[in-house]
Amino acid sequence: MYRLILIAWAILFFACKEKDMTSAPQESLKYPTTRLDTVQDKYFDTLITDEYRWLEDDLSSETGAWVDAQNKVTSGYLDKIPFRKDYKERLEKLWNYEKFSAPFKEGEFTYFYKNDGLQNQFVLWRRKGVEDAEVFLDPNTFSKDGTTSLAGINFSKDGSKAAYQISEGGSDWRKVIIIDINDKRILEDTLIDVKFSDLSWKNNDGFYYSSYDKPKGSELSAKTDQHKLYYHKLGTPQKNDKVIFGDKIKRRYVGGSVTEDDRYLFISASNSTSGNELYMIDLQDTQGKVVTLVDNFDSDSYVADNEGTKLYIVTNLNAPNKKVVTADAATPKSTDWKDFIPETQNVLDVSTGCGFIFAHYMKDALSMIKQYDYQGKLIGEIKLPGAGTASLGGAKRKEQEVYYSFTNYVNPGSIYKYNPAKSISDLYIKPKIDFDPEKYESRQVFYSSKDGTKIPMMITHKKGLKLDGKNPTMLYGYGGFNISLTPAFSISNAVWMEQGGIFAVPNLRGGGEYGKKWHDQGTQMKKQNVFDDFIAAAEYLIAGNYTSKDYLAISGGSNGGLLVGACMTQRPELFEVALPAVGVLDMLRYHTFTAGARWAYDYGTSEQSKEMFSYLLGYSPVHNVKEVAYPATLVTTADHDDRVVPAHSFKFAAALQAKHNGPNPVLIRIEKSAGHGAGKPTSKIIEESADKYSFTLYNMGKSFVKNVKN
């Protein structure tokens, strides 16, 4: 009988798919039983009971059984969405086009990444001169299910050797494989247990890399707190690798970079998400003396390039939006720095190539690139194809051209070739995709947050969209770690907009869109500003009749998952759907897992002070779930996420299921053999996207319209 009712409803749903309905049909979901723990922690004079502490143990069979039980309930719910399969098929069709990265040159070869369409991992190709391109490395052969990815590659100075990193199951722990580029022969034993590291070659003899000592207990959740910089000399075992920095001084993040001329090694060391020390070693110095440039964490600085002993340094020291300064290697301390490219009202980043310096500016989250010579003369500005995000990579000094990509919310990424000597930019590759950007519009608005601060937001949708308050709207945000959300094309969002959906992205405080001051306004005791900015964005969209509460979804990942978790617990009545992904959700204990302690600049910690503890407790999503009705919620995480451990999501989902007293579903989707997101195979990305977007439409009472004209 129930099956007949369900079939009858499905027929009615498709027959009425153009008609707005207040909600998806509600059914009583039986959630898995989650036992309550009795563990208590004392913070100053307050006892906190951690009812779900046992879910932190990722090695426990009980946790594993809980994960399987939750996935079973979630899969059962998602399987009943009548148009989920159609949504996935449209995603696959639109996804299936050739995608390219910008080329780069190493030795005699030009390399580029390419995906034929639905390949799980991008393939690294190469060509010599005008010869046909050939596959150099195909990560799709690394594992049967596509869950082992290529996590970076670096070439020796003459291009004859390469060291590449692989990630298994999405973990941040890497292996490093060293090969001869001609026959791709593996040259020596694989390096293991490398984490949060670039590889920087010293001549052709070896390279610098960074890692932690292997933690005791679970490598996916145990705290990693002391990063070290090593040097690996080719032909020697990893156990003999020399520690260059970090054994005598404890730093959570350490990285090393060798200059193109092999003259200097620069070392950055930090303990949190803002501010780094800066050191250097003259590689011609046989003693390997470490020289200090910056001895505190009050600013962010890195060396962009050098000309002999002249150093070009990008810094926000006394310049919140960053500037370029020069220094002599003989007197490199910040007191001797000289302004080269001064600070402006727009945030600066820098790349170099072909004998020029490229100043990347961000104006209201949109790209602008200016070109300078090494004497500081402004050559001009690169004319970009429009308003959006341009990413100009580096190139070696001897090269004659450099490549950049350009994208925005309606235009898939195209690759351009730029000749800096002639200031000429040419289209190199434009993707062929079944999506017409001319039928969509993306515009920037500014709205007022709770305290009156003006916040920019990009709103993208079909042209001619009727503002009747009934448009499905995805409000996406981040707001942290000095990270900027700039316009970029997304296939998932394209399908959403084909269905008449609106995609809105506000540039919240805590991000980097307006420099260090903007970042700092969303940190620690000011973190509530970020949530207020996001809530105000929702209210702006509703007041402007773009949408209404019944058609508004909020989405975000990682720090953005915290954003969604905090906003849905503070204003549950404001949203119809909530999609917190891989979120930082237990704000009292986040710093006790993996590298979480580094995030203290943004968040503060529960042990920092009584005031900070109280502030964190006041918004921590896990600790602020109350017995009220919540939006339809699909929490997403992965069992191999060792950056934001899945226990955050486990605890939040358990608390929601225990206290939610409304009819909406509150589910958790736990991906197996996946991590925080990087390297996730295309097949898993499409499946997750289909689940999230069909869940959203379903709970808005909307259907999926086949054969829609985009």
Cα(316)–Cα(271) distance, rounded to whole angstroms?
A: 17
CB contact set of 7 (below 8 Å; sequence gap of 6+):
none
| Residue 51 three-state SS | coil
Residues labelled as active-site residues: 558, 676
Q: What b/e readout covers 180-198, taking b as 16+ CB neighbours within 10 angstroms?
A: ebeeeeeeeeebeebbbbe
> What is the full DSSP assignment across 662-681?
SSS-EEEEEESS--SSTT--
Cα(490)–Cα(676) distance, rounded to whole angstroms?
A: 18
* Closest by Cα among 440, 635, 409 to 505: 409
Cβ(661)–Cβ(697) under 8 Å? no
Angle at 387 between CA 381 and CA 393, to 5 degrees: 55
| Residue 353 three-state SS | strand
Cβ(365)–Cβ(485) under 8 Å? yes
Cα(672)–Cα(556) distance, rounded to whole angstroms?
A: 20
CB contact set of 205 (below 8 Å; sequence gap of 6+):
233, 234
| Residue 524 three-state SS | helix
Cβ(118)–Cβ(146) under 8 Å? no
Residue with tokens 């594992």: 143
CB contact set of 467 (below 8 Å; sequence gap of 6+):
544, 545, 546
Cα(274)–Cα(559) distance, rounded to whole angstroms?
A: 15
Q: Report which secondary-structure segment, H or E, holds 635.
A: strand 632-638
Exposure on the CB side of residue 270, measured as CA atoms within 13 A: 21
Angle at which helices 559-570 and 528-543 cross, to 10°: 70
Cβ(375)–Cβ(396) under 8 Å? no
- β-pairing, 632-638 with 666-671? parallel
> What is the full DSSP assignment across 360-429?
EEEETTEEEEEEE-TTS-EEEE---SSSSEEEE----TT-S-EEEEEE-SSS--EEEEEETTTTEEEEEE
The 3 state secondary structure assigned to 531-596 is: HHHHHHHHHHHHHCCCCCHHHEEEEEECHHHHHHHHHHHHCHHHCCEEEEECCCCCCCCHHHCCCH
